[in-house]
Every structure is written in structure tokens, then in C-alpha cells.
Amino acid sequence: MSAVTGQPRTRLAVAPWQALRRSGLGPGLLMLLVVVSLNIALQPDFFSGSSLSGNIATFAPTILICVAQAVIVLSRELDLSLGAGVSLINCVMASLPQDKLGGPLGVIAVAVLVALLLGAVNGLLVAYAGLPSLVATFATGAIWFGLALTIMPQPGGVISDAIGDGYAGTLLGIPVPLLIIAVAMACWALLARHRAGRRIIAVGSNPEAAAVAGIPLRRTKLLAYLVAWMLVCLGAIAISAQTMSGDPRLGQSYTLASVAAVVIGGVSLGGGRGTPWGALIGALVLGLVTNVIYFAGISSSWQEFVKGFVIVAALGFMVLEGRRRA
């Protein structure tokens, strides 16, 4: 009797690890555990309320932008214009008359419209014009950056105090940045259960099979870009709320960070495999690595080197995992 009852227990013990391996989250979670441990060693108050809320507020924009990239990568595409788009949205917000347009809500509404326009342009170029996403979004990124420089050649402008105070505040005792991340991830979870979300993954996994199944490939890829750019908009608003001004070069680092987080989080660059949760984990790893560099007193010039090493390590894990499956 004991032998019979012991077998299901073994299955139950193995199943979660197998599920973790299939999801591709294993390497990212391992890296997250390492960098969290290093942060605890360097910051005794790492888990204090003020430290956690500060980290969440700082990491939130990166998380949102990285999750946006993951949505696009799941559809078997890439967007190299995210960082420039963040700069453009930020400059538009900072250049608007903050006391008009209905106040801060009007400014946010304009930011949303700009983000949807940028996402639509990229989506139409890739999905309907048939341009390679790598080339198309590299070109549009240059355009977004040029527009940002045209609007604001030098850092300046102002963001409404209401936006800054709202981002720094709490709702029901929960920090607003954490709520923004939670709402964004909840929306993706709902979308993933909906036909539209399943189509994005299906198109990224096997476009030919998806087309045979009657899934509209072009419309689905356009949807992926629009969803992603709504997340980029949230990230740009969060950054603007922290800087309280505009800067045409503000978003330059976010494009590489988003691709890095996707790789660290186990999202396949070939599309169809992985989850935006992996990108969230990857963004946390990158943010905490920056913390380690700062609190360890390491020169900031090493920051990109360390990030590059982390990305290479994540790619190595992905290659090894792919060989095991083969």
C-alpha cells in the first residue's frame, strides 16, 4: 500500500520542476536568487519597507518596458524603437501645458495617444508592409529620437506635480508603482486566457500552422505591437513622474535592457515560447545587478560589462536547455 501511495508523491514532486524547465524561467529565477542574496549581503535593510518601495519605484519603468518587449517577441518579432519611443513620449508630456488639457489626466491621455500611434506605425510596417522588424523598428527608433530632439533639443520642460505625487504615493497602503505593475501583469494574464492572447503565442510559435488554423497573422501582430506600446506608455509615464522633466535621451538604455530581460527571463527570441513573467524576472535581475554594482563600490563603467556577462550566461543556459530537449 505504501509503495502505491508513494508513486503519485514522486510525480507531484517532479512536476513543478518540469513545469519550471518548460517555461524557461529556471535560469532567470536562479540569477534572481543570486542577485537578491548579494543585495541582502550589501544592504542589511534590503527588506525594509522604504528600501523595497524605493526599489519598486525605480524598477517599475524597466519592468513595464521589458514586459512590452516580451509581448512583441512572443509574436516572433522585435522592437528596437522602445527606448526612443520612451524619450518621445516623455518629451511630449514635458512640453505640454500642464495646467490645460484637463490637467494631468489630459497629459496622460495625450501620452496614450502618442504611444498608440507609435505602436500602430511599427505594427503596420512589420505586419502589413512586410518589413523585417529588426530593420523597421531600428529606422522608426531613429525617427522617434529625432522627433524627441526636435520637440526638446535640451533637457527641460516640466511634469505636473500631480503626476509625480501620484506615482510616489500609495493606494490602500500599497505603493502606486507596485499597483501599476500588478495591473499590467493581471491584464496580460487575462489576455493570455483570451483568444487574442492565445493567437499572439500561436503566431509566434508557428506562423504557418496559425495561418492554416485561420488566425489572421497581420492583425494579430499589429495587436501585439499595440498592447506592447500601451505598456511602454505606462513605463514612460512612470519615468516622467520620477524625473519631473523631459529629456530626449532619457530612454536610450531601455531598448537593450528590454532585450536583455527577455533573454534572461527565458523568452525565446524565435517567438512562441516563454512568458512576460520571465521578462519581469529579467528586469528585476538587471535592476538588482545595478544595485550590487553601486553598493559594492564598483565603478559604474563595469555596469554594462556585468550586464553583458549576465546576458551571455542566460543565453548559455538557453542553448544548453535546447540541446537537452533535442
The answer to the question of residue 73 being in a domain is yes
- pLDDT per residue over 67-125, tens digit each? 999 999 999 999 999 999 999 999 999 999 877 777 899 999 999 999 999 999 999 99
> Count of domains in the chain?
1
Round to whole Å and give the CA distance between 92 and 96: 6
Q: Report whether pLDDT(250) > 80.
A: yes
The answer to the question of residue 266 being in a domain is yes
**pLDDT the model gives residue 323:** 62
Round to whole Å and give the CA distance between 225 and 211: 19
Q: Read off the CATH number of the domain in which 242 is found.
A: 1.10.3470
The answer to the question of residue 49 being in a domain is yes
- pLDDT per residue over 193-246, tens digit each? 888 889 999 999 899 999 999 999 999 999 999 999 999 999 999 999 999 999
The answer to the question of residue 45 being in a domain is yes
**pLDDT the model gives residue 220:** 95
Round to whole Å and give the CA distance between 91 and 326: 48
**Residue 50 — pLDDT band, cuts 50, 70, 90?**
confident
- pLDDT per residue over 267-276, tens digit each? 888 877 788 8
Q: Report whether pLDDT(168) > 50.
A: yes
The answer to the question of residue 250 being in a domain is yes
Q: Report whether pLDDT(10) > 50.
A: no
Q: Report whether pLDDT(307) > 60.
A: yes
272: left (phi over 0), alpha (psi -120 to 50) or beta: left
Q: Report whether pLDDT(11) > 50.
A: no
**Residue 20 — pLDDT band, cuts 50, 70, 90?**
low
How much of the chain is in helix, strand and coil states, percent to nearest 5? 75, 0, 20
**Residue 1 — pLDDT band, cuts 50, 70, 90?**
very low
- pLDDT per residue over 181-194, tens digit each? 999 999 888 888 88
**pLDDT the model gives residue 22:** 62
The answer to the question of residue 61 being in a domain is yes
**pLDDT the model gives residue 268:** 81
Round to whole Å and give the CA distance between 240 and 234: 10
Q: Which domain holds residue 267?
A: 26-317
Mean pLDDT of the chain: 87
The answer to the question of residue 1 being in a domain is no
The answer to the question of residue 10 being in a domain is no
Q: Where are the beta strands (DSSP E) in the chain?
A: 170-171, 174-175
> Beta strands 174-175 and 170-171: pairing type?
antiparallel
Of 65, 89, 126, whose CA–CA distance to 261 is shortest?
65
**pLDDT the model gives residue 17:** 55
